[in-house]
C-alpha cells in the first residue's frame, strides 16, 4: 500500500501514512504541515542560499539533482564515472579558497560532467594547469596555488601570509631562506 497523501507515493508505515507524514501527524496534528520549508527540496527550502554556495554545497546539489557520478559514463573514455568534474567554462567561476586560486567551481550545475578518476585528474592537471602564485615562479601549481617546493616551504615556515618575499626564489629555483618569518595577523 502507498501513503494516503495524494502527492506521496511512498509505502505505508502506520495508519495509512508513510513515515514522514505519520511523523508530521504525531508532531503537528496534520500530516500535510510543513514548517519553515524544512521538508521542501531545493529552492523551496528555507535554507536555500541561491548562488551563494560553497564547493561542497555545489557537489551536494549535483548528487541531489543528477544522482551519483557512478551512475553515468565518463565523458572522456566512456568507462564508469566516479566523480563530478567542473569544466572550467563558467563565466561565474569561484574558488574554494578565494585568497589562493585553487579548486575552481561554479554554482551553475550545467558546467559539470561525469568523469572517472584518471580522466578527472588528467583534465585538472593539463586543461587547467595554472602557474605558481609566487611572483617570478613559472612552475605549475599543485596545491594552494603554489608549486611543490613553495608549498613545502610554506608548510615548513608555519603557513605565513603567501608573498614572494616570504617564499623567495633565487636563480629560478626555490631555496630555503634563513631569515625568520613573521605571521600575518588576522
Give tens-digit pLDDT for 69-106.
999 999 989 999 999 998 888 888 888 776 665 678 88
Specify the pTM.
0.51
- 116 in a domain, yes or no? yes
Q: What is the pLDDT of residue 113?
A: 93
Which of 86, 109, 127 marks a domain boundary?
127
**Exposure string over 33-69, b if 16+ CB within 10 A, otherwise e:** eeeeeeeeeeeeeeeeeeeebeeeebbeebeeeeeeb
CA angle 133, 125, 168 (to 5 degrees): 25
Q: Are 29 and 85 in contact (CB under 8 A)?
A: no
Q: What's the pLDDT tens digit per position in 144-159?
A: 777 878 788 777 877 7
- 185 in a domain, yes or no? no
On whether both 56 and 123 belong to a single domain, the answer is: yes
Q: What is the pLDDT of residue 131?
A: 76
Number of domains in the chain: 3
- Residue 3 is part of which domain span? 1-48
Q: What's the pLDDT tens digit per position in 122-178?
A: 887 776 667 777 777 777 777 777 787 878 877 787 776 666 565 554 444 444 444
On whether both 117 and 172 belong to a single domain, the answer is: no
- Give the C-alpha separation, 103 to 20, whole Å: 38
On whether both 105 and 85 belong to a single domain, the answer is: yes
On whether both 118 and 134 belong to a single domain, the answer is: no
- 183 in a domain, yes or no? no
On whether both 123 and 134 belong to a single domain, the answer is: no
Amino acid at each position: 500500500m502507498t501513503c494516503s497523501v495524494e502527492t506521496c507515493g511512498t509505502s505505508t508505515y502506520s495508519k495509512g501514512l508513510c513515515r514522514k507524514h505519520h511523523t508530521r501527524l504525531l508532531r503537528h496534528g496534520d500530516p500535510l504541515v510543513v514548517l519553515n520549508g524544512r521538508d521542501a527540496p531545493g529552492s523551496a527550502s528555507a535554507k536555500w542560499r541561491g548562488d551563494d554556495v560553497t564547493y561542497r554545497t555545489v557537489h551536494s546539489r549535483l548528487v541531489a539533482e543528477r544522482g551519483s557520478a557512478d551512475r553515468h559514463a565518463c565523458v572522456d573514455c566512456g568507462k564508469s564515472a566516479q566523480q563530478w568534474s567542473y569544466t572550467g567554462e563558467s563565466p561565474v567561476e569561484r574558488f574554494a579558497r578565494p585568497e589562493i586560486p585553487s579548486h575552481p567551481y561554479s554554482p551553475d550545475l550545467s558546467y559539470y560532467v561525469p568523469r572517472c578518476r584518471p580522466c578527472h585528474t588528467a583534465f585538472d592537471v593539463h586543461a587547467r594547469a595554472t602557474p605558481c602564485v609566487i611572483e617570478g615562479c613559472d612552475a605549475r601549481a599543485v596545491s594552494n596555488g603554489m608549486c611543490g617546493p613553495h608549498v613545502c616551504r610554506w608548510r615548513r615556515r608555519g603557513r605565513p601570509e603567501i608573498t614572494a618575499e616570504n617564499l623567495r626564489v633565487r636563480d629560478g629555483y626555490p631555496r630555503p631562506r634563513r631569515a625568520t618569518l613573521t605571521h600575518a595577523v588576522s
